[in-house]
A = this chain, B = another copy of it.
Amino acid sequence: MKADLDRWMQESQIDVIFVVGAAQHNPAMVYFTGRVHVSQAEFIKVVGKEPILYYASAMEREEAAKSGLLTQSVDIYQPRRLLEEAKGDAILARALRYQRMLQDSGIQKGRIAIYGMSEVGLAYSVFSKLCQLMPEIEIVSEAEHSVLGQVRLTKDKHEIQQIQRMGEITTEVVGLTADFLSAQKVRNGVLIKQNDEPLRIGEVKRQINLWLAERGAENPHGTVFAMGRDAAIPHSAGDDQMILEVGKTIVFDIFPCQEQGGYYYDFTRTWCLGYAPDDVQKLYEDVRTVYQTVVKALQVNGQCSSYQKLACDLFEGLGHPTIQSNPSTEEGYVHSLGHGVGLQIHERPWFGANATEQDILSVGSVFTIEPGLYYPNQNMGVRLEDTYTVKDDGSIQPLVEFPFDLVLPLKHS
Contact = CB atoms under 8 A, between A and B. Distances in A.
A214 B210 CA distance: 7
A123 B125 contact: no
Contact of A143 (B90, B113, B141, B209): B90
Given A141-B129, A210-B214, A235-B59, A116 B119 contact: yes
Interface in A377-412: none
Count class of interface residues, chain A: 35 or more
Contacts of A206: 213-214, 216
A80 interface: yes
A20 B118 CA distance: 11
Nearest to A88: B356
A150 interface: no
Interface string A208-227: 01100110101011100000
* Contact residues of A: prevailing secondary structure: mixed
A115 interface: yes
A151 interface: no
Contacts of A216: 206
Interface string A93-133: 00000000000000000000111111111111101110000
B119 A141 contact: no
Given A234-B59, A235-B57, A117 B119 contact: yes
B222 A213 contact: no
Contacts of A91: 141, 143
Contact of A115 (B60, B119, B128, B139): B119
The 5 lowest CB-CB distance pairs between A and B, nearest first, are A59-B235, A120-B123, A125-B141, A90-B143, A114-B121
**How many copies of this kind of chain does the complex include?**
2
B143 A37 contact: no
A405 B367 CA distance: 52
Interface in A1-58: 20-21, 24-25, 28, 37, 39, 57
A142 interface: yes
Contacts of A143: 90-91, 122, 125
A123 B123 contact: yes
Contacts of A235: 57, 59-60
B123 A116 contact: no
A376 to B, nearest CB: 12
A80 B60 CA distance: 45
B139 A124 contact: yes
A237 interface: yes
A24 B139 CA distance: 28
A121 B147 CA distance: 12
Interface string A313-355: 0000000000000000000000000000000000000000100
A399 to B, nearest CB: 24
Contacts of A146: 121
Nearest to A119: B117
A37 B116 contact: no
Contact of A120 (B114, B214, B260): B114
Nearest to A210: B213
Interface in A220-243: 220-222, 233-237
A279 interface: no
A144 interface: yes
A170 B341 CA distance: 34
B124 A222 contact: no
Contacts of A60: 235
Contacts of A121: 113-116, 142, 146
Contacts of A24: 220-221
A234 B61 CA distance: 12
B222 A260 contact: yes
Contacts of A127: 120, 124
B90 A220 contact: no
A152 to B, nearest CB: 13
Given A121-B116, A233-B59, A209 B213 contact: yes
